[in-house]
Amino acid sequence: MAGANLVATAAVASQPPVNPGAKWKRFPNPEAAGFGSSALQALEHILYSKPTTSLMVVRAGRIAYSYGDISRTSNVASVRKSILSMLYGKYVANGRIDLDRTIGQLGIDESGEGLMPIEKTATIRHILTSSSGVYWPAGSPGGNEATPPRGSKKPGSYFLYNNWDFNVAGAVFEQLSGKTVFQALADDLAAPLEFEDFDLTRQKMVGYHTNPSRYKSYQMFLSPRDLARLGLLMVNGGVWNGRQIIPAEWVLESTTLHWRAADMHSRRGQTGYAYMWWKPSEGRRGPEWADSYLAYGKWGQMVLGLPAIDTVIVHQRAVTDEFAIAYYLGATAMAPAGGEFTDNDFLALADIILAARI
């Protein structure tokens, strides 16, 4: 069965990438996409007990299975970071962004006493891999709470999931690309990929009212079916309708493992890290997980790319805009109704979906 799947995958990989067009197309049934209907029906019974708003499984450019309202737009939390990584590719390729420039050279600094000399030696590459060694308090919640003393770690030597890095990655992108993150999202991804539910005015810069950092977070509000287009673009090597939207070299480089799970100081101990993408292949060794990558957002926002089997899985746990903005302003630390839904919860669901392959 596994051998047949790998043969089928090789056949699909030899074909031009399939894109959904203006509207997603569906397989007539899960079996046509290579999944067992009875196994996916059993999955629904599990989903009923989870704080899951929607789930999508895309195979070879078409919907193999969906659950819930896949058109509902919601805050994607830290999935924004992986999307920003996608946006970087075009500007790295055209020379506007040099990953080896330091934040000191770019004039990145903080108020008051400012950044230390050693902190200013961090490069853009260090920022993208969350290893800048800058432990200035972030301007928005969502990173690790415990940080080493400032100046104690050489940039590039120590991974710490740190929202200061990610927020600065947005500021650096805007400075060097000449576009806001949100305008680039609209022009470089939403337009060519024909997003169905995108609203530029809904995207927001958010940060603490009493801001310890001048760099705020660029919060994105997207639907599962538009997130699936982003995942499919990555699985297709950056190609959409015959056009290279993201350089193929960047798709490869940005999803290559840079930090092994064993060397990371993070809450997610079974996944490595690339350029703002998580690497679940650190803990899952099956051939279907080869070269996989995961965008993981708080509360249960997930986009998993499985290029080895031409598959994308998207999970949404929708929250209201009011709740999300209150959280990023520091006005609430509560979890939404239903409790947390972690990357491990999602990967367990992904295992069930992959076990349904026939």
State how far the Cα of 306 lies from the Cα of 267, in Å rounded to an integer.
Answer: 23
Q: How many CB atoms lie within 10 A of CB 154?
A: 13
DSSP-based three-state secondary structure for 357: strand
Work out how many domains the chain is built from and give that number.
1
CB neighbours of residue 93 within 10 Å: 15
Residue 216 in any domain: the answer is no
pLDDT exceeds cutoff 70 at 38:
yes
Dihedral angle over CA of 30, 33, 36, 38, nearest 10? -10
Reported as a pLDDT band with limits 50, 70 and 90, residue 351 is: very high
* Residue 326 lies inside a defined structural domain of this protein: yes
The reply to whether 6 falls in a domain is yes
DSSP state of 186: I
pLDDT tens-digit series, residues 150-195: 999 999 999 999 999 999 999 999 999 999 999 999 999 999 999 9
* Model confidence at 7: pLDDT above 60: no
Of the candidates 14, 31, 28, which has an alpha carbon nearest to the alpha carbon of residue 6? 14
Pair 249, 92: CB distance under 8 Å: no
Lowest mean pLDDT among 128-142, 220-234, 238-252: 128-142
CATH code (residue 252): 3.40.710.10
Mean pLDDT computed over 292-296? 97
What does pTM read for this prediction? 0.94
Rounded Cα distance between 329 and 139, Å, is 9
Give me the domain span that covers residue 232. Answer: 2-71+222-355
Helix 79-93 to helix 163-177 angle (10° resolution) is 30
In this predicted structure, what is the pLDDT of residue 3?
41
| 301/341 Cα distance (integer angstroms) | 9
Q: Indicate whether 9 pLDDT > 50.
A: no
102 lies in a domain?
A: no
Query: Is 269 among the domain residues?
Result: yes
- Which two structure tokens, joined as six digits, stand for 303? 């986009």
Q: What is the mean pLDDT of residues 193-216?
A: 91
Share of the chain above pLDDT 70, in %: 93
Does the residue 7 lie in any domain? yes
Task: For residues 30-54, give the mean pLDDT.
Answer: 93
Count of CB atoms within 10 A of residue 22's CB?
6
What is the average pLDDT across 38-58? 93
- 1 pLDDT tier (thresholds 50, 70, 90): very low
- 75 φ/ψ angles, rounded to the nearest 5 degrees: -60, 135
Instruction: Judge whether residue 14 has pLDDT over 80.
Output: no
Q: What is the pLDDT of residue 268?
A: 58
Q: What percent of the chain has pLDDT over 90?
A: 78
Mean pLDDT of 292-307: 96
Instruction: Give residue-wise pLDDT tens across range 117-157.
Output: 999 999 999 999 999 999 998 888 776 667 899 999 999 99
E strand segments, 202-310: 204-206, 217-219, 221-222, 239-240, 243-244, 264-265, 272-273, 278-279, 293-297, 301-306
pLDDT digits (tens, 9 = 90+) for 72-106: 999 999 999 999 999 999 999 999 999 999 999 99
* DSSP per position, 89-146: HHHHHTTS--TT-BTTTTT---STT---TTGGG-BHHHHHTT-----PPPSSS-S-S-
What's the pLDDT band for 205 if we cut at 50, 70, 90? very high
Question: In the block, which residue shows the tokens 């400012």?
Answer: 114
pLDDT of 339 reads 77
Domain-embedded: residue 138: no
> For residue 132, is it within any domain?
no
Averaged pLDDT for residues 224-244: 97
With the C-alpha atoms ordered 109, 214, 83, 48, is the resulting torsion angle positive or negative?
positive
What mean pLDDT value characterizes the chain? 91
